């Protein structure tokens, strides 16, 4: 037997039957087996927000993808590209439907029905950028439509259909933008490189309507912004310093910028990111965070989820768009199977997928009654990143 904890301001322990170093380091609709769950003691906020209208700063929200089809889970693994076609039907540890053994993958994102992956080994210089078309038709024999040789392969990818751009953040380096990602060829070069003299860029988010790009510089320069990023070329200087701090993961949702800080652990929130001028004071969530690394965050349907990696927890906040001051998470997710939550993805069915050090942990009903489902370990090896195709 294993103990499972979900908390609302306090931790509730419930027992359930047992079920079957990632790159985050700083340098319920189908019948399911009975699980354990917890509920909030407070009131929930609005749950009608969108996840795809503005562009995610993580690689986990499916980019601009809508929710018209059942979710497909795609994982960038040390083994290659892995996919589960019916993610909502996962109830136990099951091997992926698709295993493309194309070598070590570092990051993944999707734009419409295309999947983009960064290929390379952690700490190595050379790698490649891969594009697979027709995500739902992928098989284990599929080959990429495009392979682009790159130096310093990205450890975060961000795709935007609205901006017709694909962004890749090198490990503590620069960020590149490729234009027209649907038609990339092996000879395609980045249209722009976003650089700071200190290097060490990490978190990324794009406000698609305004075209403003945000990047977190982690060694003193702070949160930086480039205007009209989707049309910039060459190596443009940043236009604005938004705030100090070291931000490793970001996303824009419902006209808010959410940024996970590594220097003083917590999440900073700004309203109207397109209008920020650099003097605004953010709302900062710190309650429940130890002085340890936060590896990722994702916002979907007005629910904010934060991966407190070194605490082995995921914090869940309902009514994210209504947060006006520091408060405790609505739920705190933990489980013996989840030891170092590194990257997060959420589907339209209210399921959370967590890239852990040796598998993908699945929870359901995250906005109402978060419940552990299983950990996917069969044929997974080391998951580095994950995305949802819908």
Nearest to 112 by CA among 87, 128, 133: 133
Tell how far CA 62 is from the center of its chain: 9
Q: Which residue range forms the structural domain that includes residue 292?
A: 2-389
Distance, in Å, from the CA atom of 135 to the CA atom of 114, rounded to the nearest integer, reads: 6
Q: What is the CATH number of the domain that holds 160?
A: 2.130.10.10
What is the value of pTM for the model shown? 0.85
What's the half-sphere exposure (Cβ side, CA atoms, 13 Å) at 277? Answer: 1
pLDDT tens digits for range 305-331: 999 999 999 999 999 999 999 999 999
Confidence of residue 68 (pLDDT cuts 50, 70, 90): low
Q: How many domains does the chain have?
A: 1
pLDDT tens digits for range 251-277: 999 999 999 987 688 999 999 999 999
Strands in 283-285's sheet, in edge-to-edge order, are 247-253, 256-261, 266-271, 283-285
Contact (CB, 8 A) for 157 and 167: yes
Averaged pLDDT for residues 207-218: 96
Nearest to 194 by CA among 167, 221, 171: 167
State the residue for tokens 């960038």: 76
Q: Provide, for the chain, the percentages of residues in helix, strand and coil under a 3-state DSSP scheme, each rounded to the nearest 5.
A: 5, 45, 50
pLDDT tens digits for range 148-196: 999 899 999 999 999 999 999 998 889 999 999 999 999 999 999 999 9
């Amino acid at each position: 037997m294993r103990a499972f904890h979900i908390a609302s301001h306090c931790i509730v322990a419930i027992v359930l039957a047992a079920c079957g170093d990632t790159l985050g380091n700083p340098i319920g609709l189908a019948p399911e087996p009975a699980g354990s769950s917890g509920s909030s003691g407070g009131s929930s906020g609005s749950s009608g927000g969108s996840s795809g209208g503005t562009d995610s700063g993580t690689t986990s929200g499916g980019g601009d993808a809508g929710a018209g089809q059942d979710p497909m889970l795609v994982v960038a693994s040390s083994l290659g590209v892995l996919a589960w076609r019916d993610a909502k039907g996962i109830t136990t540890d099951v091997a992926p439907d698709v295993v493309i053994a194309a070598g070590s993958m570092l990051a993944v994102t999707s734009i419409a029905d295309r999947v983009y992956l960064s290929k390379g080994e952690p700490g190595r210089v050379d790698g490649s950028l891969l594009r697979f078309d027709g995500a739902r038709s992928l098989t284990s024999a599929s080959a990429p439509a495009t392979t682009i040789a790159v130096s310093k392969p990205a450890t975060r990818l961000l795709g935007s259909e609205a901006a017709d751009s694909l962004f890749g953040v090198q490990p503590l380096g620069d960020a590149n933008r490729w234009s027209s990602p649907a038609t990339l060829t092996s000879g395609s070069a980045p249209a722009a490189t976003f650089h700071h003299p200190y290097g060490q860029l990490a978190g990324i988010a794009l406000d698609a309507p305004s075209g403003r790009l945000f990047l977190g510089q982690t060694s003193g320069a702070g949160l930086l912004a480039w205007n009209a990023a989707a049309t910039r070329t060459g190596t443009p200087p940043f236009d604005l310093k938004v705030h100090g701090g070291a931000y490793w993961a970001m996303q824009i949702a419902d006209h808010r910028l959410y940024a996970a800080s590594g220097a003083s652990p917590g999440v900073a929130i700004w309203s109207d990111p397109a209008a920020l001028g650099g003097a605004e004071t953010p709302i900062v969530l710190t309650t429940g965070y130890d002085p340890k690394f936060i590896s990722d965050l994702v916002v979907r349907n007005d629910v904010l989820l934060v991966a407190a990696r070194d605490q082995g927890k995921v914090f869940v906040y309902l009514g994210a768009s209504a947060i006006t001051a520091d408060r405790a998470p609505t739920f705190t997710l933990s489980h013996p199977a989840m030891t170092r939550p590194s990257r997060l993805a959420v589907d339209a069915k209210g399921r959370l997928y967590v890239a852990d050090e040796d598998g993908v942990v699945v929870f359901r009903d995250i906005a109402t009654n978060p419940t552990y489902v299983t950990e996917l370990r069969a044929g997974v090896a080391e998951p580095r990143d994950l995305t949802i195709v819908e």
